[in-house]
Chains A and B, each alone.
Chain A
Amino acid sequence: MFRHLVRTTALVVALAVAAAAPVRAQDQKGTLVFAVESLGAQTLDPILEGRPGNAVYQAVMYDSLVGFDLEKGGVGPGVAERWELSPDGLTWTFHIRPGQTFHNGDKLTAHDVKFSLERQMGPGSLASAAASMRRTIKSIEVAGDLTVKVQTTSPQIGLPASLSRAVAPEGAIMPKAYIEKVGEEEFRKKPVGSGPWKFVRNVPGDRIEFTAVTTPHWRGRPHFKELVMLLVPEESTRVAMVRTGEAAIASIGPETMLGATRAGLEVLSVPGTMQAIFQFWGTWRPEVKDSPIAKVRVRQALSLAIDRKQVIEHVMNGKARMPYPFATFGYTDFFSADRWKKWADEAYRYDPALAKKILAEEGYPNGFELKFANTALPGTQFMVDIGTAIADMWTKVGVKVTLKHYEWGSFAPLERGDQAPLTGWASMYRTAGRPDAPWRYNGAFSPDSIQRLLGDKGNCQEACQEFEKTYRALGSELDRAKRTALTDHMVEVTANTWTVIPILEGMGYYAINTKKVGQFAPIPGRHELGDVFERIPRPEQKPWKK
């Protein structure tokens, strides 16, 4: 009996040990190695890093005030569980998710939120929206440990979105007490955040290492023990590293996709990360009056001459989609996506015969000379290939394309000032995938924006005025249905000018070694994986389906 008892006890103990220990050991193990083309500024201080870098590597260790809708893309809960706008439209109240802690053990409270937002707006901040925030945010108040009230100078419907990592990096939450205690210098060396990964080491120009938090996290508890992000600028090397298993995941471009698939790698595509577009500069200016591209129908004809399906199939290897109208996506807020999808499929069709006919009707039966600036924004090098492809298509309808290639850094200055070098030109451009359309429209069409594609303050004609009016109305419209109607109207007005024309909706691409990581899904519209790593399983946990 006694012996039996001993035996039973031993068995129970053994089972308990066996049950407890392996859980712990199996729970988080191994290293997840991610090879990426750029680590941006490679600093762990959120106020020193722009959007892409923030989303690639800062996101893993910092949480954002507003988070993601993981399924659909766009805005969802983050550090704040919910938020609401006061009836006058001037105060946003954010309700912080309880029980969050920083990696040093400090509790995450409303004070940290206030501190972080103010730090983003502060003098040393390189945040791109710092100036806008300073202008629009009147005050930030702590109304209890888990409540923050943000007062704005005018109604700011888009404020929560602009504090979501789905849109911008400015919502990153930093530890107030810690930074105040150790100072900025030390914080930059030993950063502390509240995300599912803790900072370990930053080797400039080479890598950043993180280790998983062991406690549960609302974003998900990582399945790997370590996370290493490698800076590997050369794409063919990144792919080679995934093939040899030196890295589990690598960011790639569409041109490498086919090779990666043939080499037995899994290729993951993230839908709706960007739109490749082309646009016409200064068509409203008097000096361009007689130029063919000053004519709406000529611009439309150029769109009809583009075989988007070919581009998607062959340049993007099938991993891209027919676009919605400019700067809109399936997840765009306050937007009749289905209606516009139908519209776009018709409007952006391939009809070279019609294109030629229109050109002839407009007085260019033998085509004309089109000056086209080909360029690619950082991170989307394939835009050059798209530009090359559409230039060829234009050539085939008889347009003589003068192609000039610009590196982005030398293209960007051209669009400022009087835009003389670009006036009368068409160029490649891009819009990043984000849910708030009006912000982007403002940047392209507003008479006081940099691009001012419809006209400037001194020369704002019909479409320009109509856009201006609609945009203003949108700024203070709180009603959902009316807001949607206004957005649709804004899209319609601008789409019909054919000044900014989408080519395709692009995706983010990753080559994956299935022996190193299990199957996972990215967040729609979010190219970078910074908010995904914690949900990536180990290969044995969830093997890839063939």
Chain B
Amino acid sequence: MNLTTYSTDPAGLQSFYEAIISAHDTYAPVEKFGKYDFIKVDALSSCNPDSPIPKTMSVKPLFFPKSARVMKYKATSEGTELSDTEGDPLAGKRVVLGVKHCDARGLQVLDAVYKWDYVDTDYEKRRENTILISTRCNEASTHCFCTSLDYDVEKLDAFDVAVINGLDGKIYLQARTEKGEFFLKENANGLTVANGSAQEEMKQQFEKFAGSFRLKMDYSEINEKMKGRFDSAVFEDIPANCVSCNTCAFVCPTCHCFKISDEKLKDEGVRYKSYDSCNNVYFTLMAGGHNPRPVKYRRWRQRAMHKFVYYKERFDMNLCVGCGKCTISCPVNISIFEVVNRVASSMQE
């Protein structure tokens, strides 16, 4: 399949965005309480597709909301009736603007867990009906380390349409999937097909971008090193200042643990699936009172090992995309980057 690249300028991009917003159900980062959430928008003026990275929440809630209905039940005189919930607000056709690279990669990671064995149909439907359009990342923020985790200008497959800066104020829109190709063709008014140097220019820009990263690591080395570090004393030492607030898991674009709960109202009820966090004391507490991870460092160990070892073993990817959201949100500024590096390097001591 031949994927087309279009070129435009900033003004053209704005009108491209405007056209999309007027024609489709569009979600874009909207400022709310000093941070950006992905919310349905009606006009370009109310949102900011180029929202600053540290202040933007992940796009995960559009596919895996903080709380979703799974099923309904109703007690009648004949017995109990079960029914599927209808009217999932996220299942319709839609376009998401301003998705960060790390977020989109996070969705790919989520795909792995949601599509193995039993396929989560709700999630799959939401994914299928969505067109992801990227934002332009020009500069790494303080906590970004996505280039260390598989992000490359050649591997932007997580998007349907990638928006990339070229030289001299040019902007390239590149279809990355069939869905994106089709979508771009439909909405290509005012865009010109790019010439041959586009790929080259994008690469140059990307190299400049990659050079701006403060945090770099060799993750395959980290994977290897962490494998044997389950009993590392560093795990007991590092999270002493963690307050078990669960924030990291809730903002993480790849964390997918959930809990199931029933809400009842008289004879009816709904079963919900909501976010949960492995940093929660009750996460593994069993009914008999037995808890395999009763203390903070064990939960932290589970978190770090799951992200960089277990998931890799199981699905051959890291459960971390290097977005740095957990570090930014952490009330005490614990950096996962720092933690895994310390664990990995403790081996040499």
Instruction: Say whether A associates with B.
Output: no
B residues neighboring A (CB under 8 Å): none
